């Protein structure tokens, strides 16, 4: 059974189709309010130490670092700094930690997702985005698919103003995106399969 590691998982949107397909999914997040999410471990990924025994066992690692630093929303740190005429440089710790785990695990596939506002800050570290699906920007090593075939939930249907997990609801990756990744990986052939 293939294994997937979903870092900064939130509600586990990116791993949802993989879990439904029978993959062994492990979701990691540091928010204790998400402890009810299936297959979730609540911890800070800075405390994770993959070992050589993890190498090759994990087929796919995905990370969705918090987007607050990169958001262009009115009350985001970046927007407030711009309005106040201050220089702004986002904290890249969460991207660096995700890459540390990916490099240690050496999965067949990996992806890091964030908002469009992150592109100018992440490009110097990870290069140009590999794929953009609506509001989701991906970097990584994974089979590409046509994003125009993915039907996305309207943003207004994701807003839960009453919820203490409002930002997690808004950031949840659509099931259709997770399914597109899964289908692309399942249809990927190795040289030995020809």
pLDDT per residue as tens digits for the range 169-188: 778 899 999 999 999 999 98
Is the confidence at residue 114, as pLDDT, over 90?
A: yes
Q: Across the chain, which distance is largest between two alpha carbons, in Å? A: 59
Contact 144, 90 (CB under 8 A): no
Contact 137, 114 (CB under 8 A): yes
Which DSSP category does 13 fall into? T
Contact 139, 111 (CB under 8 A): yes
**pLDDT number for residue 170:** 79
Is the confidence at residue 161, as pLDDT, over 80?
A: no
Which DSSP category does 174 fall into? P
Residues 54-86 pLDDT 10s? 666 899 999 999 887 777 777 777 788 888 888
**pLDDT number for residue 153:** 78
Q: Mean pLDDT across the chain, nearest whole number?
A: 89
**46 vs 57: CA distance, rounded Å:** 21
pLDDT band at 167 (very low <50, low <70, confident <90, very high): confident
Q: Which of 57, 59, 28 is nearest to 41 (CA)?
A: 28
C-beta pairs of 68-72 under 8 Å, 24+ apart in sequence = 68/167, 69/118, 69/121, 70/114, 70/115, 70/117, 70/118, 70/121, 70/122, 71/115, 71/117, 72/115, 72/116, 72/117
Q: Average pLDDT in the 148-159 region?
A: 77
**120 vs 81: CA distance, rounded Å:** 16
Q: For the domain with range 3-193, which CATH number is right: 3.40.50.150, 3.40.50.2000, 3.40.50.720, 3.40.109.10?
A: 3.40.50.150
Is the confidence at residue 126, as pLDDT, over 90?
A: yes
Q: Average pLDDT in the 144-151 region?
A: 93
Contact 61, 107 (CB under 8 A): yes
pTM for this prediction: 0.89
Q: Which residue has the higher pLDDT, 29 or 190?
A: 29
């Amino acid at each position: 059974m293939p294994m997937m590691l979903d870092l900064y998982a939130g509600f586990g949107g990116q791993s949802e189709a993989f879990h439904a397909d029978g993959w062994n999914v492990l979701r990691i997040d540091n928010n204790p309010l998400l402890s009810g999410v299936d297959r979730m471990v609540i911890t800070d990924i800075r405390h994770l130490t993959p070992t050589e025994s993890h190498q090759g066992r994990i087929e796919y690692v995905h990370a969705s670092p918090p987007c607050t630093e990169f958001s262009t929303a009115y009350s985001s740190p970046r927007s407030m700094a711009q309005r106040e005429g201050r220089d702004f440089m986002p904290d890249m710790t969460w991207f660096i930690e995700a890459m540390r785990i990916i490099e240690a695990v050496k999965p067949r596939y990996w992806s890091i997702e964030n908002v469009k506002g992150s592109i100018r800050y992440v490009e110097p570290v990870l290069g140009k985005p590999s794929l953009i699906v609506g509001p989701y920007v991906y970097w990584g090593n994974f089979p590409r698919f046509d994003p125009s075939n993915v039907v996305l939930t309207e943003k207004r249907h994701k807003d839960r103003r009453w919820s203490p997990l409002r930002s997690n609801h808004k950031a949840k990756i659509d099931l259709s995106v997770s399914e597109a990744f899964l289908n692309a990986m399942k249809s990927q052939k190795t040289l030995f399969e020809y």
